[in-house]
């Protein structure tokens, strides 16, 4: 069973029943959701930019639904912008969503519960919606795609693209498929101009896949006890990685591309 734990900022997360990783940082689940994802992807600023173009919604790809705290942080970021959230969330294990609904309110932090209650209600609807969008109370919608993200994301219409990406599966050591170069290339081609992707990991496999997919890659901010993480964008110039890391990643990207060419030529 998924095990709930209260993290250091008072919010709750869930621990996986098999490999023991938590869905969020034990130093603060809500802090991580807000700072690593909503703030790092500039959702509030992006929403204001979209509003100026006449758009009505910000399109978010949320890889790893978990408890839906990242979705709640996105709702908080859009508060007051008059832009709704149009979220597509990928989750392979409905058990974590069922455990979230059983856990109930994040009562220790009223500011979290204000947004998380909307997410829980949408997740409950989505479990019975057979991969159809469901409304978010107060405006917006959620499309929950249950299954292997390597299958569910490519199955979306090719025209579906996103203003921001929260890349939050379990670590590469326990969930390698969603850090593969092939999956990251699929994510990259779904990103709109001006979009940002944020993830908690600084692992080389993630950064190599994102660079090989044609994205600019840079470090994210440190959040709590976590490392700097990674930001990526198709067209936004990001802070440079340190020279040694840059050289190592360049060499790995070159090896990856050489392997692809060799496979493609049948050699």
| Cα–Cα distance for residue pair 246/205, rounded to 1 Å | 13
Domains, the chain: 29-262 (3.40.50.150)
Q: Rounded to whole angstroms, how far apart are CA atoms 49 and 117?
A: 27
This prediction's pTM: 0.96
Give 133's contacts (C-beta < 8 A, 6+ positions apart): 141, 142, 143
Which range among 123-127, 159-163, 221-225 shows the weakest confidence by mean pLDDT? 221-225
Cross-strand partners of 6: 12
The structure tokens 């890349």 sit at 167
Q: N- to C-terminal Cα distance for the chain?
A: 47
Residue 201: which of 240, 155, 166 has the closest Cα? 166
**In Å, what is the CA distance from 48 to each residue of 35, 36, 57, 127, 142?**
19, 20, 10, 31, 21
Mind listing the pLDDT tens digit for each residue in 180-222?
999 999 999 999 999 999 999 999 999 999 999 999 999 998 8
DSSP 31: H
Q: Establish how many alpha carbons lie within 13 A of residue 203's alpha carbon, considering only the half-sphere containing its beta carbon.
A: 20
141-188: pLDDT as tens digits: 999 999 999 999 999 999 999 999 999 999 999 999 999 999 999 999
- Determine contact, residues 234/216, Cβ cutoff 8 Å: yes
């Amino acid at each position: 069973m998924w095990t709930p734990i209260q993290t250091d900022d008072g919010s709750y997360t869930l621990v996986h029943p098999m490999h023991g990783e938590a869905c969020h940082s034990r130093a603060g689940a809500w802090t991580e959701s807000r700072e690593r994802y909503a703030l790092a992807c500039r959702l509030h600023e992006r929403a204001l930019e979209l509003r100026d173009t006449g758009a009505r919604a910000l399109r978010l790809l949320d890889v790893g639904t978990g408890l839906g705290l990242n979705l709640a942080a996105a709702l908080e970021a859009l508060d007051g912008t008059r832009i709704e959230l149009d979220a597509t969330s990928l989750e392979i294990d409905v058990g974590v969503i069922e455990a979230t609904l059983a856990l109930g309110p994040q009562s220790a932090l009223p500011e979290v519960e204000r947004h998380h209650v909307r997410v829980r209600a949408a997740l409950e609807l989505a479990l019975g919606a057979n991969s159809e969008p469901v409304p978010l109370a107060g405006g917006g919608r959620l499309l929950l795609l249950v299954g292997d993200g390597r299958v569910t994301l490519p199955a979306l219409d090719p025209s579906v693209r996103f203003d921001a990406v929260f890349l939050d599966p379990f670590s590469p050591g326990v969930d390698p498929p969603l850090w593969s170069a092939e999956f990251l290339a699929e994510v990259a081609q779904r990103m709109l101009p001006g979009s940002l992707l944020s993830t908690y990991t600084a692992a080389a496999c993630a950064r190599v896949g994102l660079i090989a997919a044609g994205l600019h890659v840079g470090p994210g901010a440190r959040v709590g006890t976590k490392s700097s993480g990674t930001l990526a964008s198709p067209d936004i110039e990001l802070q440079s990685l340190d020279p040694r890391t840059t050289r190592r990643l360049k060499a790995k990207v070159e090896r990856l591309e050489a392997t692809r060419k060799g496979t493609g030529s049948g050699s």
